[in-house]
Structure 1
Amino acid sequence: MNGSFWRKAAMVSVCLLMGCNPGELPQSGGLEGPRLAGSLGAKKSPQKAEASRFPLKLRIPIQDFFPEGIAHSADGTFYVGSYSTGTVLRQRPGNFHFEPFLPANGRAIAGMKVEDSTRTLWLCELDLTQATPGGLKAYDLHTGRLRGFWPFPVEGGCNDLTLDSQGNVYATDTFLGVVRRLKKGASQLETWASDPERFMAPPGYPGLNGIAWDNGSVYVVKYDSGDLFRIGINPNGSAGTITRITTDSPLGFPDGILMLSPGVLLVVDNDNGQFKRVDLSGDSGHVSVLATGFDNPTTVALHDGDAFIVESQFDHFFGIDQTPPDVPFTVKRVWLR
């Protein structure tokens, strides 16, 4: 895939607005992934994949699922959301099969995070036709009961989210170019950070995408331009200075991001099928490619020190590739240690 992916997908989105067996299967688009870059895989012995550790792939044998968001809880449970149906599946530790957690609702699930301290699954939900508002939702991890819904403007789009150490939730609005915040205990979202000149994308294109909190700052990436920004947090909680981080090589088309450790950012490059690491130093960052060969990867979660990356196969969902998607859909593991 290349930059033409979202140009074609944008045309499909405009059309929508106008009304107009589990196993090792080949990846669509000629990809053979994931392939470990450099010597990343040399540090891991085969025995490390045994015992209580999850397998190299998590499999979703549902033809129309098209996964996008993934979240992971402290007890080892994975949650994966469907961009096509709104279903959320759950895979518990020691279980090699997903089970239903939230039923289909005809909407799209994007970014997801688990807040272990409150046993809450936070997620971004969208109406891809933009006929009704999407927004931020919270569900009880025990019961699946809806705890709250905080709508975005109908023309906006909740894309991804992160939480800080105080329990405040930050979410990117991909179409309106702002970061929204739900302050802990608040009843309404607020527009927390905005920069129309740098955050907005052309109509129909995804702009602000992945978001991550790290030690008093929030990092966001912009899909269409590949830009990475750091947003400071003032002592009163308001957004501080917005700084563009200069990287020594392009991030490509960044989707989900996640902090691996202080100053170390993991980035999923969707259109190029790559998984990257950014070592931050002041206002600059060193980019290294950890693995390649993914089929439209979207988001990443960490478990047992390793990365689990969703392959969305969005080229099939948006009709760019007219053939059926490869089933099962997969969440692929990349060894990080």
Structure 2
Amino acid sequence: MKALETARLFASLTISIAALPGLALADTSKITLPEEHPFPESITSTEDGTLYVSSISDGGVLRVTPGGEPEIWIEPGAFETRSTLGVLADEERGLLWVCSNDISALGVQGPSDVKGGFLKGFDLKTGEGKVSYRMPNEKSVCNDIAVAEDGSTYITNVAADEILKLAPEAEELEVWFTDPDVKGGLDGLAFGPDGNLYANTYTGGELFRFDVEDGEAKGFEKLETGPLTKPDGIRPIEGGFVMVQGGGDLNRITVDDGAVEIETIDTFAEPTALTVVGDTIWVAEGQLAYLFDEKKKEQPRPEFNLRSVPLQ
């Protein structure tokens, strides 16, 4: 009798949980992107678990609300955008920051003919375009974004190996850091628990720390990590970072002064970016070889997915 009562109680509880909004018993470890939003380059999230995904090939921004289906939230070409790369939700300012770029020189036309690289800001509630800042360097590809505690926004220019800054009340981007010894495609960007900026280089396969003092760059250090394979998106977590490498790895990174420890959490299909929602890491499988590799670009496109793993 006790076993029967336990079974009934479990069944009742299961039904109750399934009925709660935003919860489901189905496997939620994979979200397949629609065909009109391939090649995800970056992903970000808000505190409620909503995901935002860019597309390096087709532009626009995809949104996935908790328990909802993927939907095109910002249409390709909207607010004079082109190919979309880095995205970052800035809930303090109510903005979704989006990197928009002309990468036609790489054979990717994108949804418009707007020239140059831009940092764009969209209203997080409505998706309306609010602000737009053109990158000053003619050789510019806005790649990744990080926001400081004082509200300053920083971006990497992967085409010219420089970091740009937008101060809270500024009307234009300024070059915050550049140095000939830092080369190889500055890419993923994040603030560490020590208040300094960390960035990797996509083709160089390196990780750098940029010392920040009163909002100014006060030197840098190349951290000894061992060989990295196309390091890309990086996001802060308690005690360090999580980062993806285009070669497949999702890593946990701990930095103690100049000592770096890298642990592999899982592997994915050519990941380009990640975001952390509570105790879950969502990874975008960009599979950019099918866009840029001459041998693969003629093959049928694969399925593009967001996949999640626990942050342990």
Write out per-residue CA displacement over residues 228-258 of structure 1, whole angstroms, 9 at most, x where no aligned residue.
11111112x11111111112x3332201111
> Contact 2:42–2:87 at 8 Å: present in 1 too?
yes
CA distance in 2, matches of 1:79, 1:157: 20
In the alignment, what sits opposite 1:162? 146
In the alignment, what sits opposite 2:119? 136
CA distance in 1, matches of 2:241, 2:126: 33
Moved over 3 A (4+): 50-54
**Which shifted more, 125-134 or 50-59?**
50-59
> Contact 1:157–1:173 at 8 Å: present in 2 too?
yes
SS at match of 2:301: coil
Q: Which has the larger radius of gyration?
A: 2
CA distance in 2, matches of 1:241, 1:218: 11
TM-score normalised to structure 2 length = 0.84
> Contact 1:297–1:311 at 8 Å: present in 2 too?
yes
Instruction: Indicate the structure whose relative CO is greater, using CA pairs within 8 Å and at least 6 residues apart.
Output: 1
CA distance in 1, matches of 2:54, 2:235: 17
CA distance in 2, matches of 1:183, 1:224: 29
How far residue 174 of structure 1 moved from its aligned partner, in angstroms, is: 0.5
In the alignment, what sits opposite 1:314? 288
Identity %: 29
CA distance in 1, matches of 2:283, 2:88: 14
In the alignment, what sits opposite 1:175? 159
CA distance in 2, matches of 1:56, 1:171: 30
Are positions 1:112 and 2:112 aligned together? Answer: no
In the alignment, what sits opposite 1:41? none
> Contact 2:122–2:129 at 8 Å: present in 1 too?
yes
In the alignment, what sits opposite 2:56? 83
> Contact 1:209–1:220 at 8 Å: present in 2 too?
yes
> Contact 1:85–1:104 at 8 Å: present in 2 too?
yes
CA distance in 2, matches of 1:110, 1:103: 14
> Contact 2:98–2:119 at 8 Å: present in 1 too?
yes
SS at match of 1:317: helix
CA distance in 2, matches of 1:250, 1:196: 21
1:185 pairs, out of 169, 172, 175, with 169
Write out per-residue CA displacement over residues 19-67 of structure 1, whole angstroms, 9 at most, x where no aligned residue.
xxxxxxxxxxxxxxxxxxxxxxxxxxxxxxx873781011112156211
In the alignment, what sits opposite 1:52? 23
CA distance in 2, matches of 1:161, 1:64: 21
In the alignment, what sits opposite 2:74? 102
**Amino acid aligned to 2:75:** P
CA distance in 1, matches of 2:295, 2:288: 8
Query: How many corresponding residue pairs?
Result: 275
**Amino acid aligned to 2:117:** G
CA distance in 1, matches of 2:179, 2:59: 31
In the alignment, what sits opposite 1:61? 34
1:239 pairs, out of 205, 217, 233, with 217
**Amino acid aligned to 1:226:** G
> Contact 1:309–1:331 at 8 Å: present in 2 too?
yes
CA distance in 2, matches of 1:129, 1:326: 22
Counterparts in 2 of 1:1-337, with a 5 A limit? 52=23, 55-62=28-35, 65-95=38-68, 97-105=69-77, 107-129=82-104, 132-152=115-135, 153-199=137-183, 201=184, 207-214=185-192, 215-235=194-214, 237-247=215-225, 249-262=226-239, 264-270=240-246, 272-292=247-267, 294-318=268-292, 319-321=294-296, 322-327=298-303, 329-337=304-312
How far residue 94 of structure 1 moved from its aligned partner, in angstroms, is: 1.9
> Contact 1:313–1:325 at 8 Å: present in 2 too?
no
Write out per-residue CA displacement over residues 163-190 of structure 1, whole angstroms, 9 at most, x where no aligned residue.
1111111100001111000011210111
TM-score normalised to structure 1 length = 0.78
SS at match of 1:196: coil
CA distance in 2, matches of 1:208, 1:110: 14
Segments of 5+ residues of structure 1 without an aligned counterpart are 1-49, 202-206
Segments of 5+ residues of structure 2 without an aligned counterpart are 1-17, 106-113
How far residue 320 of structure 1 moved from its aligned partner, in angstroms, is: 3.5
SS at match of 1:268: strand
**Which shifted more, 129-138 or 213-222?**
129-138
